[in-house]
Amino acid sequence: MPVWFWLVPIASVMALGAAYYFFSVMMKESEGTETMARIALHVRNGALAYLKQQYKIVGIVLGSLTVLFCFLAYGLHVQNPWVPFAFLTGGLFSGLAGFIGMRTATYASARTANAARESLNKGLGVAFRSGAVMGLTVVGLGLLDISIWFFVLTQFYDIDEAQHVVVITTTMLTFGMGAAVQSLFARVGGGIFTKAADVGADLVGKIEAGIPEDDPRNPATIADNVGDNVGDVAGMGADLYESYVGVILASAALGAAAYYSSGTDVQILAVIAPMVIGAIGALLSIVGVFFVRTKEGATQKDLLGSLGRGVNGAAVLIAVLSLGVLWLMDMPNMWGLWLALMIGLLTGIAIGQAAEYFTSESYKPTKTIAAASKTGPATVIIAGVGSGMLSVAVPVIAVVLGTTLAYYFGSGFVYSTDTMNLGLYGIGMAAVGMLSTLGITLATDAYGPIADNAGGNAEMAGLPPEVRQRTDALDSLGNTTAATGKGFAIGSAALTGMALLASYIEEVKIGISHVLERGSDFVFPDGTTLAAGAIDELQSLDLMQMMTYFEVVLINPKVIVSMFTGAMLAFAFSGITMNAVGRAAGQMVDEVRRQFREIPGIMSGETDPDYARCVHISTKAAQREMMMPAILALAAPVIVGLIFGVPGVLGLLIGAMVAGFSLSMFQANAGGAWDNAKKYIEQGNHGGKGSEAHKAAVIGDTVGDPFKDTSGPGLNILVKLMSMESIVIAGVTVAVHLV
């Protein structure tokens, strides 16, 4: 085991230790007045109640799939025997990351509001360091899971040495599927919960009843605050845990394949390099957290600058240190790999900046949408859809340029069959670069809902205007950082998706090797035959040969129809989740109306509404509605694989990735722009609150809510889950398919 590997568990423990430290410091802060503590308790209990329900369902799904994988591995022998357990730990760690983040956030909101009573800097400190708990927990648990499995498999998995590293890395990839299943439920379920509560609270509370935002008389207001935590914190934590480990593991698998012929020592270095970069990024994220502070009376620009110091400081340090580490590791093509890492970082920044440009009220696109509200809701919708579609161009071009450059840096500027694996490894390293400082970028992302809840707590508790101004400033900053964070998440999903396609081929090879080991010949679709036991011949096949033998060419109808199917799935998934939000919001609307009608004294403030009932309705709706999208995501690769085999699966993944990435970007940016266009009007522009323009903008925002917080983020996971699942079931696809 190379000594560099040990940096990974060390960084993992340090990240988790720092997360615990920040959590302890936050818990020592006061929750403020009795009212503030009571409101926070309502939200905390609601969030916990929801997560219990979600984990019950995910537990059943994870358990069932584990049993299935056990049958495939030990009954049919078409799968690696470690897969069921790796799958299970991925799911558990992903859920744990989301749970810890959400618990922290629900403890932090009242404390942030109370700290804001003292000063803006104190409020920022509590909110940001609480966000850092989740950022560091995600990377800490991710690195821990990777370390444990890498150690266990290298020490205890007894297989042929020639295949050793490749098999280990592709086996580890399967715990990414467990994480993906968990994150799909967390994102989709959380997204449905939060938007059902949000839309229900807005439609009845604000528009029908004329109650202000976060008013305790609104029965859905606690559910709305709970939603911020289960959707934006727990869902995002599970999502990015999956992205983070997926990126590192996919790159490790590509490294194993790329340096297959360079000897085990080099190969193992290529495998652990992404892990080491992730470990250094985790350590630098801890450092970056301490850079974040501001002065009293800080402007929005000052606040953004203070967060930027933390994020950019960590990014600059990783740029310098990663070069040193690659040099010290004596990595082949050191400069090329370092440049690929930098390209990944820059691509992430470009996507984040584009997201900010297209969603911030400081820039033209959002101002144009706000101006369109003067002529009614129809033009708001048209402007938002148009701007959202245009916004896809920059991230796609960034990903295209980033991928191309990373490929060439990885392959040493040689485009040939021989260097293809090296180029793909470069793409993997770019994705690692993009997420290397996830610890702190995720802290800025998780900070948003904490500040939002702190604002709600300050409003409901009736804190003085200067405190509300401070929490408003913190909340407004969170909206900008959230857009940037989503850009990173979506961008990394695109790069990871491409890396996973190559990993899929490696897993297909392993599936074929199982066939050959059982004493059977293997016949490729083009007629090429590998004789029983011809493992070496199989391992010598490069990617292009595999593509040729499997007839993965665009003219092959199996590929084309599967691409269509993949693209369709992205739209069907969006449609199902959007409709789910609509149905759940309808139930919430009915409940809020019922409470106003049947519970006397709500409006006069003499009686508390039944907050728990609204939380229960959102929970039940999310629980019920999350099943269909999950079934769609899990069933599609199996069905397509069983019918069309490997070419079909690749077509499906490419179709879903291309359509899903663009659609996800469109939805996230259109939804964000509608939201901020409404906020821009609420600042007094175009007539301000209560004007006709405001009414139109509220409609745009309501349409955009499920776009940006349910369907958009869910699509990333759909794409990644299908890729991960395809890898896990590659052995089955190879062994059984109809045509």
Partner 1 sequence: MTTNFYLSLIPEALIASMLTPEEFGLYYAIGNAKRSRGQAVFFSIDTDRLPEGAFDLSTVAERCVPHGDGAPKRSVYIAIYRVLERIPREAITALHLATDDGRVLTLEPTEYAPGATGWSHLYQEFCPVSPRVVSTLDPAGFTRFITDQEQPVHVPRIVFAELTLGALAQNPAAGAADDLPYPNVGHLRDCLIELADGGGKPTKTVLRQMTQEVLFRTVSGGFYVGDSTGITTFALPTLDALEREHYAWWRSAQSTFGQ
Identify whether the C-beta of residue 313 lies closer than 8 Å to the C-beta of residue 444: no
Q: Reduce the DSSP state of residue 330 to 3 states and report it.
A: coil
| Choice between 452 and 725, CB closer to partner 1 | 452
CA–CA distance, 62 with 53 (Å, rounded to integer): 14
| E strand or H helix at 341 | helix 334-359
Q: In whole angstroms, how close is the CB of 467 to partner 1 at the nearest point? A: 11
Of 278, 286, 490, the C-alpha closest to 392 is 490
CA–CA distance, 238 with 327 (Å, rounded to integer): 33
| Residue 242 to residues 106, 566, 601, Cα–Cα distance (Å) | 22, 21, 46
Q: In whole angstroms, how close is the CB of 214 to partner 1 at the nearest point? A: 10
Q: In whole angstroms, how close is the CB of 604 to partner 1 at the nearest point? A: 5
Identify whether the C-beta of residue 314 lies closer than 8 Å to the C-beta of residue 288: yes
The string over 627-663, giving b where at least 16 C-beta atoms fall within 10 Å of a residue's C-beta and e elsewhere, is ebbbebbbebbbebbbbbbbbbbbbbbbbbbbbbbbb
| Choice between 328 and 603, CB closer to partner 1 | 603
Q: Reduce the DSSP state of residue 544 to 3 states and report it.
A: helix
Q: In whole angstroms, how close is the CB of 702 to partner 1 at the nearest point? A: 13
| Choice between 408 and 680, CB closer to partner 1 | 680
Question: Residue 412 region, left (φ>0) first, then alpha (ψ -120 to 50), else beta?
Answer: left
Q: In whole angstroms, how close is the CB of 207 to partner 1 at the nearest point? A: 6
Q: In whole angstroms, how close is the CB of 38 to partner 1 at the nearest point? A: 18
| Choice between 210 and 527, CB closer to partner 1 | 210
Residue with tokens 């609150």, as numbered in its chain: 689
Q: In whole angstroms, how close is the CB of 590 to partner 1 at the nearest point? A: 14
Question: Tell me, what amino acid is at 153?
Answer: L
Q: Reduce the DSSP state of residue 530 to 3 states and report it.
A: strand
| Choice between 308 and 687, CB closer to partner 1 | 687
Q: What is the DSSP letter of 523?
A: E
CA–CA distance, 535 with 161 (Å, rounded to integer): 12
| Choice between 256 and 677, CB closer to partner 1 | 677
Q: In whole angstroms, how close is the CB of 471 to partner 1 at the nearest point? A: 14
CB hemisphere CA count around 661 (13 angstroms): 27
Paired with 522 in beta bridges are 530
Residues forming contacts to partner 1 in the complex (CB under 8 A) are 206-213, 215, 217, 374, 459, 462, 464-465, 596-598, 600, 602-604, 684-695
| Choice between 35 and 66, CB closer to partner 1 | 35
CA 456 from chain center: how many Å? 25
| Choice between 158 and 606, CB closer to partner 1 | 606
Of 149, 178, 182, 179, the C-alpha closest to 69 is 178
| Choice between 208 and 517, CB closer to partner 1 | 208
Question: Residue 218 region, left (φ>0) first, then alpha (ψ -120 to 50), else beta?
Answer: beta
| Choice between 216 and 428, CB closer to partner 1 | 216
CA–CA distance, 422 with 502 (Å, rounded to integer): 11
Structure tokens of 417? 């069959």
| Choice between 239 and 591, CB closer to partner 1 | 591
| Choice between 183 and 366, CB closer to partner 1 | 366
| Choice between 113 and 280, CB closer to partner 1 | 113
Q: In whole angstroms, how close is the CB of 145 to partner 1 at the nearest point? A: 46
Q: In whole angstroms, how close is the CB of 691 to partner 1 at the nearest point? A: 4
CA–CA distance, 592 with 221 (Å, rounded to integer): 10
Of 358, 361, 352, 263, the C-alpha closest to 307 is 352
| Choice between 374 and 583, CB closer to partner 1 | 374
| Choice between 213 and 551, CB closer to partner 1 | 213
| Choice between 209 and 632, CB closer to partner 1 | 209
Q: What is the DSSP letter of 601?
A: T
Structure tokens of 387? 């701007």
Identify whether the C-beta of residue 99 lies closer than 8 Å to the C-beta of residue 44: no
Q: In whole angstroms, how close is the CB of 594 to partner 1 at the nearest point? A: 10
Q: In whole angstroms, how close is the CB of 593 to partner 1 at the nearest point? A: 8
Question: Residue 559 region, left (φ>0) first, then alpha (ψ -120 to 50), else beta?
Answer: alpha
CB atoms within 10 A of CB 706: 29
| E strand or H helix at 529 | strand 529-530
Q: In whole angstroms, how close is the CB of 320 to partner 1 at the nearest point? A: 48
Q: In whole angstroms, how close is the CB of 219 to partner 1 at the nearest point? A: 10
For the chain, the farthest-separated pair of C-alpha atoms sits apart, in whole angstroms, at 82
| Choice between 227 and 609, CB closer to partner 1 | 609
Q: What is the DSSP letter of 655?
A: H
Question: Tell me, what amino acid is at 189?
Answer: G
Q: Could you tell me where the DSSP H helices lie in 201-263?
A: 221-227, 236-258
CA 435 from chain center: how many Å? 11
Q: In whole angstroms, how close is the CB of 109 to partner 1 at the nearest point? A: 19
Q: In whole angstroms, how close is the CB of 310 to partner 1 at the nearest point? A: 32
CA–CA distance, 287 with 397 (Å, rounded to integer): 32
| E strand or H helix at 522 | strand 522-523
Q: In whole angstroms, how close is the CB of 596 to partner 1 at the nearest point? A: 3
Of 493, 651, 655, 667, the C-alpha closest to 567 is 655
Is the CA virtual torsion 714, 480, 121, 679 positive or negative? Answer: negative
| Choice between 302 and 682, CB closer to partner 1 | 682
Which residues neighbour 661 within 8 Å (Cβ) at sequence distance 6 or greater? 395, 396, 399, 490, 493, 494, 497, 715, 716, 719
Of 68, 77, 76, 137, the C-alpha closest to 102 is 137
Q: In whole angstroms, how close is the CB of 597 to partner 1 at the nearest point? A: 5
